Structure 1
């Protein structure tokens, strides 16, 4: 028995010597390009990476090299509650439901612990993964290469064009962190390069929500890094509250109607926000049939029916969570933003906190019109905020802009 244990330890020691490659494989396997999902060889790659990732964290937890921090317990609890809500609604859970919950948690455990061990290394890995994926997506897009998903549909490397927004947001936040750690400044060739790649493909496909997200993140971050007096007021909690208020004002109060002279007369756009308000109306009415616990994640009842030829998502993160898990799910999700805030308040007014605050605000703004958190990597934002002091450990006290 002792011999088997020693052999196992020696195998993992070999893996440790190549840990950068191994961690790259694990993290990359959870950021799956949807366009390759049905290609013959690539699902094998992603399944292998995910299986390795699962056993990797089991081993790390067993040897006590990894620990489950409070934020991980909270995220695991959130996943468990959403699964139980679905079970209460439909009295069954599919294999994919359980796997999706696992696939969401595994990279978060790796990311959370690796940031504590060596934040510069793991952020570098995340940065290069996104740079490679987004760079390849742009090249394939310019060459008009698409990947068939069925006899009638084909995807870009990163899926349908609206999915570029979720990739782009976390890529921009990660690149700003990477730039600050490596160059001790927010704007460098690393962050500027990522910004250019993300914005180019969003403009090439004209993803209006994505362009709005990139513009919001870039402009607000630039202003806050340049003007310290404004940065002092731009605290994380202020941004979270402002983002949630804007969500409520647009989705429920329809405050955009007050700015019709800008939206209609100047921008030549419709006040329906590309017919989204009609989808929201149906979603709100549907939520009213089960307001407390919704209808369960990935069920037919948790879709907007009656607007298009087939059921669809609610085109709003909070409304979709209302359909999935009711007011309980919405409140739990919002509580995550406030729970991690205590860690960022201790290092307020640093450039790292500014990046994370502006990133969170941008995510909340995009949540008005899109469903982001079905992408596993969107949950990275909570790990980044919770571990801000570790991300800051590689940044000099002297801050440059």
Structure 2
């Protein structure tokens, strides 16, 4: 499950009990585990049970979780153990923050709060609020975790860190895997004829024309229309190659000539990353990899667009790119992210510094999220099993989260 998937402090009140003003279920159930430096509220553990249960479901095709086995262990027991390990990761990060003398800045704390509020309102409150998880507890386990993960990662591998990656290595990776491109695209569609419906206004027709790529009121171009468009774009291509115009200027000219929105885009990205793969067609990515610096081409992408694209000299971007902390995080994560996450997970598995509250761990277990499968669900599961290989592991989810953080200051999800 994606975490989204990108705030400050551990909060004392972690539980929601109806409309009661207090923050505990019982006098000894307000916390789940603690060390000398940190006490985690019970809601954190209940949230991690949710993550562990979701992960367990991705690891089995058995519809009934009480009949499933994961790693040669009953799935429900596996969930309980995994939830403790995930909770331990918060202790591991907290310890490392202190050892490395790191702390979140005021702006990072504000971002943590905003990320938690957004994720809680948009996705998690409907699932977790009735499971005794408050928004403050969620903030600790979700958004603060992500920001601390980033802080410790950069403190380890960025300049001055105990395992700092040399600038030369960063430059080599950047110039080998990244591309700096600019492009404009034109959908190979046109507004559908309004002749069959007198109710379609001219304004609506114009709107359909400006959003041809997504509007249902479109139809594919004919062969002759497509040929005419290609001829026009070939004209712009010749001008760009001849140095008479730029791709950005060509995009503006095309938009003005046709009364459509300017589709010009520019990006610098790792062509092997999931972020780029989710935003560009595969045939366009392949074409970029095969282009030379300074080259401009006209492509047909996914049989849906004509794309005019220029590949700039990536070496001209190296210094400015590596000066930006978020950019370096993205690049360093590609180099060391999986190793780092595995190290955190291994430390959490063997963590011995926490005292656990048995009153909480015995009361709240995997059963909190268990739903007995219906006969229909069981049949559907048997007929179309979900491949566990197709589902991201917890480590992959965290990787997605951390890499998303590299591209944006907005937090992504955790698991």
Which structure's relative contact order is higher, taking Cα pairs within 8 Å and 6+ residues apart?
A: 2
Both proteins in one fold, TM over 0.5: no
Q: What TM-score comes out, normalization by structure 2 length?
A: 0.26
> Which structure: larger Rg?
2
